[in-house]
Amino acid sequence: MTTDTIFQSIEKDFLLTKQQLAPIVEGFNQEYKTGLKTPSKGLATMIPSFVTKMPTGHETGTFLSLDLGGTNLRIAAVELKGAGKSTVLELKRKPTTELKTGEGALFFDWIADAIHHLITVQAKHLFSQDQVSGKETLALGVSVLFTNLLSLLSQTEVDRGTILRMGKGFTLSNTEGHDLADMFHEAFKRKNLNVKVTAILNDTVGTLVAHAYTNPECRIGLIFATGINAAYPEDISKITKLDPSIRAKYPAGTEMLINTEIDIFGTEAYLPLTGYDLTLDLSHSQPLFQLYEKMLSGAYMGELTRLIAMDFILAGELFEGHVPEGFNEAWSFPTIYMSTLESDDPIKSLEVMSNFNCVNTPTSNDIAILKRICRIVATRSAYLAAVSIISLLDQQNLKDNIVVGINGSTYEFYPGMDRRVRRALDEWYGKEFSSKITLEVASEGGSVGGALIAMLCK
């Protein structure tokens, strides 16, 4: 097979038309409806956040946020200045293996000590004297990536959440079955801290709220990074998974923010999976899980590119048919290499392949082929990410003044990704309607969003 023949086959599978996107949009529309009525037990979608207020942009004051979503603990003092402006001072700490696998109380004491340092030393100037001395209670918003550190958290109120199971290497004793807020408050009491957890939130919900502070017309918060997720406000009357007694607490027309967990949407029945997608999935530690996310997010784009490139090599159309040493190893070609190749810097492009032991120095044609593969994979990613936006517009029946706040490295830093998402929307709606959709880079939800929700829910 020639280079052109191989590319024609790949582009036929990867470059999705409006007609090919339509079944995915329809599938997502059905998953919203199913998720709103299916109880959030275990691994679930359409998770109610119990956040029913959105910022106006005029809020002021200093509040705390804490992000438990990744490798590091991140605690921030956030000064809301009004007019959508804020100052963030963040403290990062990395827990030791002993802390992650020891007694739960010790882990929460460690967090309390870090918060004390932030309030009394590092960010002291952002707080009032009464806040620093403990005379005034400080509100804290805790941002949790539900499929990460706390792989299962049962939430029935905005500031309550029962720990059902730990994840990501955390095996804290005497935590499962306990309320997360209670464990914080017990540690704060032991450390003589006047801090109250007023909200437990998902980072995607935080992204939506954080951007709504900047632009109150924002109706969708999208994270497009190593993974993908989205949040939006839903009429409580439609969230039938909530007990009627809970829904009855809210006035008619109240909206609650929903963490869609859109990363686990999608089935083999309607996703246009290619042979490369199936090969990637089989090499993953969780096959048949997050199939949609595996087709588009930053954690997987590089591996898809590598798999396609291998076919060109085996056909003798790339690197003279010689597999560079290490290139045949799964997950050896991260997405950052794609980003470098698409940045149009010839020297840096060659440096990408210096990470592998090539028999001969890659030619300009080799680099051009690799770059074209990257472009195909990244373009499909953008179009599939656009499906999240399109389906959420359908779900809310939005027609005018549509603002989407997008946070994440894949959207923000991958060359041309923002333009490709825009092009997908133009092709789906036509430019007249698509021009009503504003895509804006959003602040990270774990800091500003967490502090805002702590304030709104105190």
**Domain at 413, CATH number:** 3.40.367.20
Same domain flag for 426 and 319: yes
Helices 364-396/346-353 angle, 10° precision: 100
User: Which residues of 329-427 form beta strands (DSSP E)?
Assistant: 402-407
With respect to residue 211, please indicate whether it lies within any of the assigned structural domains. no
Gap between the Cα atoms of 327 and 307, Å rounded = 10
User: Among 160, 176, 201, which residue terminates a domain?
Assistant: 201
Same domain flag for 361 and 234: yes
| Cα angle value 262/264/269 (rounded, 5°) | 105
Same domain flag for 301 and 412: yes
Task: Give the pLDDT confidence of 250-283 residue by residue, as tens digits.
Answer: 999 999 999 999 999 999 999 999 999 999 999 9
With respect to residue 456, please indicate whether it lies within any of the assigned structural domains. no
Strand 138-143 to 195-201 pairing: parallel
Strand 255-259 to 47-48 pairing: antiparallel
Same domain flag for 392 and 282: yes
CA distances from residue 218 to 123, 231, 388 in whole angstroms, order as listed: 30, 11, 15
With respect to residue 207, please indicate whether it lies within any of the assigned structural domains. no
pTM, two decimal places? 0.94
Q: Can you give the residue range of the structural domain that contains 91?
A: 60-201
Asked if residues 55 and 212 have their Cβ atoms less than 8 Å apart, the reply is yes
With respect to residue 318, please indicate whether it lies within any of the assigned structural domains. yes
Same domain flag for 4 and 95: no
Same domain flag for 255 and 357: yes
* b (16+ CB within 10 A) / e for 302-330: bbbbbbbbbbbbeeebbbeeebbeebeee
With respect to residue 388, please indicate whether it lies within any of the assigned structural domains. yes
Same domain flag for 28 and 112: no
Gap between the Cα atoms of 306 and 332, Å rounded = 8
Question: For the chain, how many structural domains are there in total?
Answer: 2
Same domain flag for 251 and 390: yes
With respect to residue 394, please indicate whether it lies within any of the assigned structural domains. yes
Same domain flag for 150 and 74: yes
Task: Give the pLDDT confidence of 200-254 residue by residue, as tens digits.
Answer: 998 899 999 999 999 999 999 999 999 999 999 999 999 999 999 999 999 999 9
39 pLDDT higher than 90: no
User: Among 154, 174, 201, which residue terminates a domain?
Assistant: 201
Classify 143 as helix, strand or coil.
Answer: strand
147 pLDDT higher than 80: no
Same domain flag for 318 and 231: yes
Same domain flag for 111 and 150: yes
User: Among 145, 176, 201, which residue terminates a domain?
Assistant: 201
Supply the pLDDT for residue 69: 62
Q: What are the backbone angles phi and psi of residue 79, rounded to the nearest 5°?
A: -95, 115
Same domain flag for 30 and 95: no
How is residue 445 annotated by DSSP? I
